[in-house]
Homo-oligomer: A and B are copies of this chain.
Amino acid sequence: MITEYIKGLHILGEITSVETEFLTDDIMFKTIIDKAIFDESLNKLGEVYHSFDNKGFTAAICLTESHIATHTWPEYNRLTFDVFLSNYQNNNDDKTRKIVDIIIKHFKSDSYSTVEITR
């Protein structure tokens, strides 16, 4: 029985990419994220996707384990993303890092930076 709160891992990232088709294609992003959620046995509770006039998109995906979010800015060749998985019952830190790697790879990043926060 777990009697103490165990902090989860939240990774916040910024990516730059000249391959703007990935920054505008929310369907392609949804496909790879849904596959990652399935492959890592995470549980999606719901999601919001929205495309803007500038062709960028924003996504907030609510999980039993916390959330994933991304906001793209094709006119600036960049995006931000968040992957936060709690460690309730299971340690999900490896899954958090795996999903971050999938996101970085998907957007064909030229450069990226990440910050890790345990919370």
Residues on A lying within 8 angstroms of B by beta carbon are 4-5, 8, 10, 12, 14, 45-48, 50, 52, 58-62, 64, 66-67, 69, 71, 73, 76, 78, 80, 82, 84, 86, 88, 115, 117, 119
Contact of A14 among B47, B66, B84, B119 (CB under 8 A): B119
Give Cα A60–Cα B117 distance, bound, in whole angstroms.
19
Taking CB atoms, residues of chain B closer than 8 Å to A60 are 46, 48, 60-62, 67, 69
Give Cα A57–Cα B82 distance, bound, in whole angstroms.
19
Q: How many copies does the complex hold?
A: 2
Question: Given A76-B5, A78-B5, are A47 and B48 also a contact pair (CB < 8 Å)?
Answer: yes
Question: Given A58-B66, A117-B115, are A5 and B73 also a contact pair (CB < 8 Å)?
Answer: yes
